[in-house]
Structure 1
């Protein structure tokens, strides 16, 4: 499986570690930068490229996932999620990494290089890469609602139970 990586200066050490770890574990890592430490670099430059590469691979039918890394992982997640076709989840535990794949079919994971040890973050990435999407109908439906909104900008209809909620008369 191909794994695209992008980071900023705060994630550079982990990205470099993951490049070697991925090779050692049979993955095909692709480094989208940065390639040298620059304390004032901008994460969107690298994370958008990693997201674009994952989306392009998947559009071509290739098995591909991505990892974006920053100080907290928040900005990197936001940047990656701007790429059409990307669902990037912030992982801060093994459970959140697994749920990102199982329930959300996330194709990029974001981790915070200043939030955890290199060992913990490597484990979060490993769990993300090895966990399959559940294909449960409810998760497929929810992903479909988000995808439809991306395309149409129309909100999904409220469920009947929400229309009967507190103080509502049924008009939406």
Structure 2
């Protein structure tokens, strides 16, 4: 395989038919906002990452349950009230995500760790891991909320 440059097309071919229109629509939104895409092969399929100003905004990963999007909400404090509008299963996924060890104890994690997020959800304070805090299964029910979430993040990034 080597240094073969992969693009959106290779990634999109691997996406289930019921998700491909959504993924294509988000791809347009990301690129219109100035994001660059990087696609790499992983054990479970491709990982497609969207970067803005060299910072990852989101990436897709394939899991047994289906396509999952990980949102890196670097500006979550600018729009955290939005989290309360998410449906119950997405809120449950956030609450179930592991806590950020480094936020709780700065010596508990690798010093190169970018640290997680501190935010309010349902009136409760959370300190969640950056890698798992906002990971959602891409499905018909979650798609509009994922799109809104990313629009909030991209707007706050500018």
TM-score where L is the length of structure 1: 0.35
Larger radius of gyration: 1
Higher helix fraction: Structure 1 or Structure 2? 1
Higher strand fraction: Structure 1 or Structure 2? 2
